[in-house]
Amino acid sequence: MLPAGPAPTTTTSNSPAKRISYARVGDPNRFAQELFDALPDRYDLLAEVLSLGQNRRWRRAMVDHVTGRPLRLALDVASGTAGVAIQLAHRTGADVVGLDLTEAMLRRGQANVARAGLTGRVALSAGRAEQLPFPDATFDALTFTYLLRYVADPLATLHELARVVKPGAPVASLEFFVPPSPFWRGGWWLYTRAVLPAAGWVTGGREWYGVGRFLGPNISRHYQAYPLEWHREAWEKAGFTDVGTRAMSLGGGLVMWGTRA
């Protein structure tokens, strides 16, 4: 039987100004809920368009690191509209639990799961990565996407993720990245600060404009506070071995992976 998490909770505000205020008072969970609450209707399409078609490729590269062995039960954290959870189910044959903070994203995810014919194999529930509602050593594999920028303590979150997977289980993640090459970093900066907000407004309206304005500065601040070497060391401190990284698309994305010790 698939383990079940708590019932989804409802968020109430879609105001960009209010979202920023939550970020300033240091409540990244609440901020993430409000940021994504208005996005699900066209999230999957616009995520591909605004990432220039790279998001799907990055996800596939991440899932590559948890395939190739028998899996009975997998966990996908920050599952959103269940794109990774569905891919895990298709590619590994495992039952999959997808966990996310945002009820609206989970509702869209449920529709995507049903459309994929995976209702009996993919279960979605609300919850926090910092306090997972599962016993120790429950899962045979774990993935998480675009997560650590939305938690107050990334190292403690990694420890919690490690807690719920079995020894020897593969774990992989996907995150945005800042290109290491100064040349490509300049193009990335221009795209994230100018093109992305404008494209978000044209294709998705005010909510996607707000995401476009937020995303570039947020990614830059994250890696100023937590450089790539910090991420490698944090994974090891949390209990993962054989930690590897791969910069994707000239450094716009970052796939990481490891094995639970």
Any idea where the domains of the chain sit in the sequence?
16-179+227-260
Q: What's the chain's average pLDDT?
A: 86
- Predicted local distance difference test score (pLDDT) of residue 86: 98
What is the crossing angle of helices 43-50 and 103-115, to 10°?
Answer: 90
pTM of the model: 0.85
Is pLDDT of 106 > 80?
A: yes
Rounded Cα–Cα distance for residues 6 and 150 (Å): 20
Do 62 and 76 contact (CB within 8 A), yes or no?
A: no
C-alpha–C-alpha distance, residues 164 and 145, integer Å: 17
Q: In whole angstroms, what separates CA 122 from the centre of its chain?
A: 17
CA dihedral 3, 166, 177, 244 (to 10 degrees): -160
Model pLDDT, residue 20: 35
Whether the CB-CB separation of 2 and 123 falls below 8 Å is answered with: yes
pLDDT greater than 50 at residue 27: yes
Residues 6+ apart with CB under 8 A from 94: 71, 72, 73, 74, 88, 140, 141
- Contact present, 108 and 40 (Cβ < 8 Å): yes
pLDDT of residue 7 exceeding 90 = no
Residue 15 has what pLDDT? 31
Give the model's pLDDT for residue 39: 58
Q: What percent of the chain has pLDDT over 70?
A: 83
pLDDT tens, 159-191? 999 999 999 999 999 999 999 999 999 999 999
The answer to whether 143 and 24 are in contact (CB under 8 A) is no
Q: Which pLDDT does position 18 carry in this prediction? A: 34
Determine what percent of the chain is predicted with pLDDT higher than 90. 68
Q: Which residue matches tokens 């899962």?
A: 139
Of 215 and 257, which is predicted with more confidence?
Answer: 257
pLDDT value at residue 48: 77
Confidence at 61, pLDDT banded by 50, 70, 90: very high
Query: To which residue do tokens 């060391």 refer?
Result: 233
Question: Which residue matches tokens 């490891």?
Answer: 258
Give the mean model confidence (pLDDT) for residues 129-149: 97
- Is 204 or 117 the better-scoring residue by pLDDT? 117
Predicted local confidence at residue 51, as pLDDT: 81
Assigned superfamily of 16-179+227-260: Vaccinia Virus protein VP39 (3.40.50.150)
- Does residue 16 surpass a pLDDT of 50? no
Task: Give pLDDT, residue 126.
Answer: 94
